[in-house]
Structures are given as structure tokens and as C-alpha cells.
Amino acid sequence: MEFTVNENNQYRRIDKFLRNQLKNVPLSEIYKFIRTGKVLVNEKVVKKPQYEIDTGDRIDVLIDLSIYGRKKNELAPVPLKLDIIYEDQNILVINKKAGIALHPSERTKSTTLIQGLLFYGNTKGFEPHLVHRLDRDTSGVLIVAKNLRTARTLSRMFRERLVEKEYISLVFGKPKDHGIIDTPLDDFEAITEYRTLEHFGDSTLVSVLLHTGRTHQIRRHFAMIGNPVVGDTLYGDKRVNTFYRQQYGLRRQFLHCIRVSFTNPSEPGKLQLKAPLGEDLEEVLRRLRM
């Protein structure tokens, strides 16, 4: 199937473009198409979801898409309680809870966040667009655009580093009081800045500023310097995770987006939106401080 990128469907990344065009195809399948060389941009195979596209590009998907039945795979709006931090005519900002995936996949059995946002959007008369992401087990501030125009504006702001994102994380060991990790990820520039907030013997509470937005950037970067995020089952230390689960009741990665700041594209002024730590993470800190 062939697509042409125009001003009405332009997305910066090839994966976001395909997710918008192939709504009846599971997200996991779209990433598989890219990974296995089934997606061409201007007759060139691309294998990175982050590949940047532009207006006028021709996208070819070398798959028979007729096998994906729209009725079977179409996203169904589902009622979902949203913790809304801020809302105006163009932007919705929520405090995402841990344990909920943004999009459906083959492994997702429960309601996803996009389904809840679709239901809320139907009741309020808008179509939600996710402009950045948080992992399933990461909680905190998540920005949603209410229309494609705002989605493009916010995506550009993220790309040009005009959005400041601050995270709170508990990492194993004792990193320096202040540091910048700039090891490239997937051949792309990646910059993570952190400051120590509190020490707890064999772990450290840190504030993290993301200067780029690569996949699993915080988790991968801290694992690279020998201070993995506590509770991280992918890049972390299994023995550490088991100990913190048994001793402190931590059942997910200790990673939370506590603040996002940016100039509101809808109204004059800067937005500084905060989401407090969840009760589960606060309980871990309470036990550690004892």
C-alpha cells in the first residue's frame, strides 16, 4: 500500500505516521513491519521507528493489509477514570497511573489509555493525539493534544527541546551528586541530566531532566553507568528488584514524571504542570526513611 505525506497527515516520525494511517493494524505489527524492512520511504528501506519524514515523501508498506479486519482491531472507546491536571480547548494533561499501557499490543489484555482518552474525547467533542509517551509502569504528567494542529505544534516543541520534563527516580547505588549522561542511544543523541535528592544506603533518590526523548532513555542511561532504576525489570538488577519488592513493597519501576513546563500554544503564558508521586512510591520512601 502506498501513502503520500501531505500537510493534512504529516507526522515527524514514520511510526507515528503509520499508526495514524493504519488504525486497524495492531501497534506491535506496525513496529514489526518497520523492523523487518517492509516499510520504504521514497523507495528506501527504513528500519528505525524514529526515522523522520517530511511533506511530499512517499511511503510504501510491502504488506497485504487486507488481512487486518477493521472491526476486529479497531480501537473501541472505553470509560476510564482520568486524573486530569489541566485542560483547555486544545490541550488535555493528565496524571497517568502506573500499570496502564498507552496503546494496545498483542500482550495487552486490559483497557489502554488511548481507549479511555477516545471515550473522554467522544463525550467532549475532540479526537485525542498523544504527543509523547510514558512507559506502562511509569507514572506522571502526560500531555494530550485535542486536535492535529496542536499535536503538530507540541511535537515540534518537543523536537526543538522547548518542553522541560522532570522525573523523580530511585536508582541503585550512589551516583555523583550531579551528572550528565550523554551516551547515544540507537545511534541518536541522548542527554540525561540528574541531581541527587536523597541517599538511602544502597539507593539514591534523583531528579532527572530529559534533554532528549529516546526510548527508555532514563532507564537505559542509568543502567549504563551502573545505577539502574530500582524495580526496572528490563534493564535493572533482578536481585535488587526482588529485595525492594520484599522489603519495601515496590512492585514496579520507581520512575515518575513529576513536572512538565512549556509555553502554552493555546493561550499566552507558560504552563508548569505537576503530578505528585503516587501512594505506592511515597510508601516506599516512607519505609526507606524509617
User: What does the angle CA 264 – CA 14 – CA 38 come to, to the nearest 5 degrees?
Assistant: 165
Give φ, ψ of 108 to 5 degrees. Answer: -85, 120
> Which of helix, strand or coil describes residue 156?
helix
Contacts of 158 (CB under 8 A, 6+ apart): 131, 132, 213
Q: Which member of 57, 60, 88, 135 is catalytic?
A: 135
In sequence order, what are the beta bridge partners of 210? Answer: 165, 192
Nearest alpha-carbon partner for 159 in 120, 125, 132, 197: 132
187 noted as active-site residue: no
Scanning the structure block, which residue is given the C-alpha cell 521507528? 49
* Strand ranges in 6-108 using DSSP code E only, listed in sequence order: 39-41, 44-45, 58-61, 84-87, 91-96
Catalytic residues: 135
